[in-house]
Amino acid sequence: MEITILGIESSCDDTSAAVVRDGRLLSNVIASQAVHAEYGGVVPELASRAHGQNIVPVVDLALKRAGITPAEVDGIAVTRGPGLLGSLLVGVSFAKGFSIAQNTPMMEVNHLQGHVLAHFVTLPEQPDRPKPRFPFLCLLVSGGNSQIVLVRDYLDMEIVGSTIDDAAGEAFDKCAKIMGLSYPGGPLIDRLARSEGADPHAFKFAKPSVPGFDYSFSGLKTSFLYFLRERVAEDPEFIDKHQADLCASLQATIVEILMNKLIRAAKQYDIREIAVAGGVSANSGLRDAIRAAGQRFGWETYIPPVELTTDNAAMIAITGYYKYLREEFAGLDMTPVAKIGAL
């Protein structure tokens, strides 16, 4: 018996709907919101309004591309959190309405858990893409989260390390803003860091000292700010002259911080199945570092396709699929939450 799941993702500024059948991706539609660029970051009220405008046409297109009708959906999975409360409310409300109208069970999904399980989505163009074997460690890095997750099974995860302040994605975006780059800054820093002649060793920035496997990027952001203030005071054109080197050095520092803790965790837990997930996993420097560490330490490494790194409903649908198999259904009294503790 085939199981078809409709996934809904609306945690931040992307409205997405996807259809998964027995783990195979049939469609994945994403509507992004360009309105936030002029504000240098996501404006929650604008985001929730845009979700309200996008949710119906996005779901309609996802169903049409999958070649199915609403009646053929066996279950609907929706992001409950973490995220922007107003944005989450749009997706959850739609899922409840769909569940009632189609008499279809609903599954609540932890957005972060979805990022990890994106590795188990079977893409039509890559049907034989290797999937992590349990147990594995996943470095989950996004705009608001930097975590090392021990994954024992599809729905059995433990956070063994997490950021105590800013996440890696926030560090990229905030440092980009300091340099006068537009939002989102992470992809721009990556592009400039890869430009010809960019030197990742040109400048040295502070690296935090945090116990265990936890991360901290607030100090790096602050030291980067004071470093530029001093240099610009001496030479007002310093940033323009050294932009590529600044980006390359900053990226190399963030990647080094991420990788040092991941390597230590892999040794302590004696695990060689290593994955990376989340929006920052699209960063070329981090992807290269994961591959290099894999060769050095004998890891089996798993790097998601770029289209599955950012917020998308495919990862929500696949998580809902595994919840459906276990009959872990949500009631209509389910409410969105801005923060979720454990995975």
> What percentage of residues in the chain have a pLDDT greater than 90?
86
Cis amide bond preceding 82, omega within 30:
yes
> Which pLDDT value is given to residue 50?
86
> Which pLDDT value is given to residue 306?
92
> Which pLDDT value is given to residue 33?
63
pLDDT tens digit sequence for 31-66: 876 655 565 667 777 878 888 999 999 999 999 999
pLDDT tens digit sequence for 205-223: 988 889 999 999 999 999 9
> Which pLDDT value is given to residue 36?
53
Residue 303 and residue 312: Cα distance in Å, rounded?
Answer: 16
> Which pLDDT value is given to residue 153?
98
Residue 121 and residue 9: Cα distance in Å, rounded?
Answer: 15
- Whether 342 has a pLDDT exceeding 70, the answer reads no
- For residues 43 and 92, the model is more confident at 92
- Whether 331 has a pLDDT exceeding 80, the answer reads yes
pLDDT tens digit sequence for 160-200: 999 999 899 999 999 999 999 988 889 999 999 999 999 99
- Whether 341 has a pLDDT exceeding 90, the answer reads no
- Whether 150 has a pLDDT exceeding 60, the answer reads yes
Pairing between strand 136-141 and 106-110? unpaired
Q: Left, alpha or beta for 133 (phi > 0: left; psi -120 to 50: alpha)? A: beta
> Which pLDDT value is given to residue 343?
55
> Which pLDDT value is given to residue 37?
59
- Whether 299 has a pLDDT exceeding 60, the answer reads yes
Per the CB < 8 A criterion, the answer to whether 332 and 99 are in contact is yes
pLDDT tens digit sequence for 263-280: 999 999 999 999 999 999
> Which pLDDT value is given to residue 70?
97
